[in-house]
Amino acid sequence: MSPEGRHLDDWLTSYLDWSSGQESPESLHLWSAMSILAAATRRQICLEMEYFTIFPNIYVVIVAESARVRKSSAMDMARDVFTDAFPQAHIFRDSGTAQGMIKKLNTKVDTTKDDKDNENRQSVVAIFADEVANLFSYVKGQASTMVIFLTRSYGCPKIYDHTTSRDGETRLYNLYPTMLGGTDPRNLKVLPEDAVGGLTGRLIWVIESIRRHNNPGWKRPGDPASAKRRLMRELLVQDLQAIGQLKGEMKVEEEAQEAYNVWYEELSNRDTKDPNMDAFYQRCHTTAIKIAMLQSLSRSNSLVVTIADLKVGIDLIEKQFPETQHVAIWSGGSQFEQMRAKLIHYMQQNPAGAVLWSKALKHLGMPADEFEAKLVSTLSQDGTLEIGPIIRGQRVLKLTKEGLGKKVQLDPE
């Protein structure tokens, strides 16, 4: 039975049914649909925890080789449903800059209005990036600004201040960003170094390499199945509008809370040495709650997260771990990540993974102070290598057991 004011029993399930004839794998449609469902809530739904507030906004990035799985088609289908449902929504494409997006969202602080008037203002934006790499301009300053904005705004702060020498201070109130993007795995190497860990740990990565079936996509007038799909799309738009009208604080059933506590504790005890993976581990429990909130909104107006909703959130997050590991390798295109991979690979070729400090430094050809303060320090802290004894006046670097077993990918160039 569909929720009051809606036509469909479960919005996400209906979306997958509507898109089932298209060539892209189901996972692409699932996460594209999840993204626009999150965008539809427009910061009107939240879950109050003891010390912080969770909003159901998510950042989704589909990773697939160009044209292979029709990732842009899946993303375009979702974006068009969203824009039909909310034609006045703030849409940001990957051809702009962070500064441009901030200007579009709001104007400079209005000192003629009191705090209450300003606090009622909303800064809601749905980001659609056909190529995520384009979000990060090749101009280093602009790339860093986008990284900072996406990272800091992910938590939906009530106030976000952005200052430039040219425009002065711009204050955004009640930020609520969502993102649906795609990229070829080779383009992940252009991600700025300061995005690795902080921002990438907040992203949901969807990796596919094979389309589910071939469908030339001819339109067949008079075909009952085609007419059914057109009707289903209209109902999806109408129900997304209805979901967008929901407001309030969500609650979590006690049984769901207990299941979450067990998983949270188990997750906390998992051992991960990869700093890129660690960033995802430290935030994925909150992402699971966001997904559970979206599952609840998909099928009900009750604003209650059930044990079934939470299990879906946890299951989808568990599937993310191998995806994140792949991305950690592909995104190792920054100079630091490449030097890191090069050093590990070099040491793995030596007996017992041990090498003289001076030889490692010469092999990498980087400044000694940067080698010690940045590379050796990081690898020591994450358990990849240890500094051995001094032999004939020279320090020795040695890979740990974990370091010896690490798989690294060097830039072919």
pLDDT in tens, 172-191: 999 999 999 999 887 776 67
Residue 138 has pLDDT above 70, yes or no: no
What digits encode the pLDDT tens for the residues 336-378?
A: 667 777 888 888 888 888 999 888 888 888 888 778 766 787 7
Three-class HEC string of 17-68: HHCCCCCCCHHHHHHHHHHHHHHHHCCCEEEECCCCEECCCCEEEEECCCCC
Per-residue tokens: 97: 């800059």
Domains assigned to the chain: 11-330 (3.40.50), 335-405 (1.10.10.10)
Per-residue tokens: 137: 């301009």
Residue 195 has pLDDT above 80, yes or no: no
Candidate from 180-189, 204-213, 228-237, 238-247 with smallest mean pLDDT: 180-189
Candidate from 120-129, 204-213, 363-372 with smallest mean pLDDT: 363-372
Q: What's the whole-number mean pLDDT along residues 71-92?
A: 96
Out of 39-53, 140-154, 373-387, the most confident range is: 39-53
163 phi/psi in degrees, rounded to 5: -120, 135
More confident residue, 64 or 116: 64
- What is residue 283's predicted lDDT score, i.e. its pLDDT? 83
- What is residue 412's predicted lDDT score, i.e. its pLDDT? 46
- List 170's β-bridge partners, or say none: 108, 162
Q: Establish how many alpha carbons lie within 13 A of residue 132's alpha carbon, considering only the half-sphere containing its beta carbon.
A: 31
Residue 166 has pLDDT above 70, yes or no: no
- What is residue 411's predicted lDDT score, i.e. its pLDDT? 56
Q: What value does the CA radius of gyration of the chain take, rounded to a whole number of Å? A: 24
Q: Is the pTM above the cut of 0.85?
A: no
| Mean pLDDT for the chain overall | 86
How confident is residue 413, by pLDDT bands cut at 50, 70 and 90?
very low
Q: Give the Cβ contact number of residue 263 at 10 Å.
A: 18
The SS3 assignment for 355 reads strand
Residue 406 has pLDDT above 80, yes or no: no
Out of 54-58, 139-143, 197-201, 377-381, the most confident range is: 54-58
Angle at 303 between CA 8 and CA 54, to 5 degrees: 120
To which residue do tokens 């057109």 refer?
A: 230
